[in-house]
């Protein structure tokens, strides 16, 4: 059985940037606990404990207990804000979960194995989708899904429907046809662009000659009245 994870929390009466800074100095971070049958609560939580959860293998899908005044209730991290410079947590949204009610979560999808299309055909392996959405009980949330990409040749795909899912425990909500990864041919565009560049370089020469010729003709036509005038003089 997995070790029980607990996050210490306390009610938060005051709000504002100054109060948030003061909390962070003491190792805490502002949070909101909402969802389920309970009301929304403004809290402070232990920043180190939440940080460890987000860095764990299960990440934001980690199920833990929020300990508020000795009373524990299950929750997951629904959203969070991080300082872009220091990397410190600024705020956390916690979602209550009912252990007997299915919920929707996004689960990472990782591929393994060197595709045959890369090794034998010189293709390029591209990851298109990095996570899929499923519906399951909080206690059944998987850490990740893994797909073997070693058999992929150029033009072949791995799709969401290829993920082995225990349908008795969870339901795939992402379109089964959604491409997870594929192998594509190396884009060789050297010959064609070279011809195109040569054609483009040669093409402007002709209009310039025509344009120049028109100017010369216009100049000659413009010169005739002057010549006639000189003859009259």
What are the pLDDT digits (tens) for 46-95? 999 999 999 998 899 999 999 998 899 999 999 999 989 888 888 999 99
Looking at residue 12, its pLDDT comes to: 86
Looking at residue 208, its pLDDT comes to: 47
Q: What is the dihedral of CA 131, 84, 63, 71, to 10 degrees?
A: -160
What are the pLDDT digits (tens) for 174-184? 999 999 999 99
Looking at residue 36, its pLDDT comes to: 82
Q: What angle do CA 26, 95, 51 make, to 5 degrees?
A: 40
Q: Which residue has the tokens 């909101």?
A: 32
* Predicted confidence (pLDDT) at residue 3 exceeds the cutoff of 80: no
CATH 3.40.50.720 for domain 104-184, yes or no, is no
Confidence of residue 187 (pLDDT cuts 50, 70, 90): confident
- CATH for 6-97 is 2.40.240.10
CA 8, chain centre distance (Å)? 31
Q: Which of 111, 116, 195 is nearest to 150 (CA)?
A: 116
Q: What is the dihedral of CA 184, 190, 196, 198, to 10 degrees?
A: 180
Would 6-97 and 104-184 be classified into the same CATH topology?
A: no
Looking at residue 186, its pLDDT comes to: 84
Q: How many CB atoms lie within 10 A of CB 94?
A: 25
- How does the average pLDDT of the chain come out, rounded? 83
Q: Give percent of the chain with pLDDT exceeding 70.
A: 77
**Domain ranges, ordered by start, for the chain:** 6-97, 104-184, 191-232
Counting every residue written for the chain, the total comes to 233
């Amino acid at each position: 059985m997995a070790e029980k994870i607990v996050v210490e929390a306390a009610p938060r009466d005051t709000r504002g940037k100054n109060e948030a800074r003061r909390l962070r100095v003491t190792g805490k971070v502002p949070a909101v606990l909402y969802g389920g049958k309970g009301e929304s609560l403004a809290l402070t939580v232990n920043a180190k404990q939440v940080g460890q959860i987000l860095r764990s293998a299960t990440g934001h899908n980690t199920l833990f207990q929020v300990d508020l005044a000795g009373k524990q209730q299950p929750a997951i991290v629904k959203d969070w804000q991080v300082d872009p410079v220091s990397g410190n947590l600024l705020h956390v949204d916690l979602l209550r979960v009912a252990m007997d009610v299915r919920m929707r979560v996004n689960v990472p999808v990782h591929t393994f194995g060197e595709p045959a299309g890369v090794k034998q055909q010189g293709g390029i392996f591209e990851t298109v989708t990095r996570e899929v959405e499923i519906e399951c009980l909080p206690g059944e949330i998987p850490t990740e899904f893994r797909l073997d990409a070693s058999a992929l040749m150029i033009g072949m795909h791995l799709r969401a429907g290829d993920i082995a899912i225990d349908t008795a425990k969870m339901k795939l909500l992402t379109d089964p046809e959604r491409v997870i990864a594929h192998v594509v041919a190396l884009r060789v565009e050297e010959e064609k662009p070279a011809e195109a560049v040569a054609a483009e370089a040669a093409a402007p020469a002709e209009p310039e000659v025509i344009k120049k010729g028109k100017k010369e003709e216009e100049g000659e036509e413009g010169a005739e009245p002057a010549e006639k005038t000189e003859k009259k003089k």
